[in-house]
Amino acid sequence: MALRGPHATIDRLPFRTITAPPMRPPVATPMHPLALCRLALLRLALLLAASLLAATAQAETLIAGPDGAPLALARAVAQARDGDVIELLPGEYRGPIVIEQRKLTLRGMGKVTVRGETPRPNNGPQAAKALWTVRGGEVTVENVEFRGARSADGAGAGIRQEGGALTVRECRFFDNEHGLLAAADERATLTIERSVFGSAPKVVGGLHHLLNVGRIARLHVTGSRFQQGFEGHLIKTRARESFIGYNFIHDGVRGGASYEIEVANGGLATIIGNVIAQGVDNQNPTLVAYGSEGRAWEVNQLLLAHNTLVNYGWTPAWMLRTFLDRLPAGAEVHAVNNLLVGPGVFAWGASGRFAGNRHVVARMLADIDTYAFELPPDSIWRGSGIDPRNVGGHDLSPKFEFEWPLGGRPIEPGRTSWTPGAYQR
C-alpha cells in the first residue's frame, strides 16, 4: 500500500506532467530615427576622444642642443613622431633640415639662431633651398631666428614651405635671400604671427623678397614687422586668400624696397589696420599693387581698410595700384577709411568703392618720427571715416591696432565713430 503523509518518498507521490507553452522570440522595438542619430554621434564622440587620448599619451618632448647634446637637431627631427614637440636649447644651429612629420612643433627656448652657410657645390640640392624645409603636415615653429640663408641660385630661404599647414610664431628672419618662401600648393596654408622680417641682402638685381608666397590656399599675417628691404618686395603673395592685418610694414625713411605689398594674382585680399610706409630710396613708387601678374583665381576682390599709407619721398607715390585690366570682369575693389600720408595718388586708375580716405601731410600726425602715426585729438579728420561694418557685404571695421614692437591691442567694441588710418586711439 502506498505511503501517505510527510514521510512518503517523492517517487511515490502522484504527479502529472505539465507541458510549458512554446517560447516566442522577443520582438525588437524599432528605434526612433532621432535616437539612432544620437547613438551614432555618441559612438563617434567616444571614438574621437579615444583617438585624442591615445595621441596625447604618445606625444613626447625632445630636447635638442646646438652642440648635439642631449640630441642634435637633425637627429631630434628624425626621431620625432607625429604630435611631438622639439625644444631647442639656446645657441646657434647650422645645417639644413627637412621636416616631414604630419604634426610637429619646434620651439626655441631662449635665444635660438639658425644660421646659413656659404653654398658649396657639394652641399647638395637641399642645401640650395632653405635652412629649414617643411614638407606637408601641420608644423608650428616658435621663437627661432633664421639668418643668412644663401643658395647657388640666389633663392635661399630661412624657411621653405612645400605644402601642408605651417604656423610661424614669434620668429625672426634677417639677411636671407628670401625670409620665408612658400612654394605653390593650392591646398597649403601659412599663418604668421608676431614675427619680424628684415635686412634683405643688398644685391643689385637680386629681387629678394622678405616674404614670398606662391599660389597657396590661404595666407594670414598679423602683428608682425617687415622692414629694410632692398629691390625686392616686403610682402609678395599669390595666395587665393590673403589676410594681412595689424602689421608694421615699414621700409624705413631711406628704405630701398620695391612694392611694400604685392598681391600678384588677385584673389580675395583683405588688407586692414596696417602701417605701410615706403622709403625715399624705393625701387618702385607703388606701395600696394593688386593683380600685377594677372588672373589665377575665380574670386578677385581687394578689401583695403583702415591702413596708414606713408610716402617719405618728395615725389608722388602710387599708394594703391590696381591692374584690373589683367583680371577677369567682376573684380572688385573696396577701399575705405585709409589715411594717406605724403604726396601721392590713391584712386587714380582704379575702379570700385572709395570712401572715407583722407590725405594728410606728415606734420598732421601725432609724431611720425617716433612712429606715433595716429591723428592727434584735435585733428579735423578724427571721426571722419564711414561706417566700415558693412562694405560690400564685408565687415571692415578694425579689431586690433599694431602695438610696438610686436602684436596687437584690441579695439573696444561698440564704437559709433571711425577715424581713418590704422589707429583709433
What is the structure's pLDDT at 30?
A: 58
SS3 category, 364: helix
What is the structure's pLDDT at 348?
A: 77
Greatest alpha-carbon pair distance for the chain in Å reads 139
Domain residue spans in the chain? 58-410
Tens-place pLDDT, residues 351-376: 899 999 999 999 999 999 999 999 99
How confident is the chain (425 residues) per 10-residue block, as mean pLDDT? 38 40 53 59 60 60 96 96 97 93 95 84 58 97 97 93 98 98 98 97 91 98 97 97 98 95 98 98 96 95 98 96 92 97 89 95 97 97 97 97 97 94 96
Please state which CATH number belongs to domain 58-410: 2.160.20.10
Phi, psi of 104 (to 5 degrees): -155, 145
Distance CA 321, CA 99 (A): 38
Distance CA 381, CA 304 (A): 19
* Strand pairing category for 301-305 and 178-182: unpaired
Q: Which three cell numbers stand for residue 108?
A: 626655441
What is the structure's pLDDT at 262?
A: 98
Tens-place pLDDT, residues 257-293: 999 999 999 999 999 999 999 999 999 999 999 999 9
Closest of 386, 389, 372 to residue 419, by C-alpha: 386
What is the structure's pLDDT at 316?
A: 96
What is the structure's pLDDT at 122?
A: 52
Tell me how crowded residue 103 is: count the other CB atoms within 10 A of its CB. Answer: 17
What is the structure's pLDDT at 47?
A: 61
Q: Do 271 and 283 form a contact (C-beta atoms < 8 A)?
A: no
Q: Which amino acid is at 80?
A: A
Residues 6+ apart with CB under 8 A from 359: 340, 346
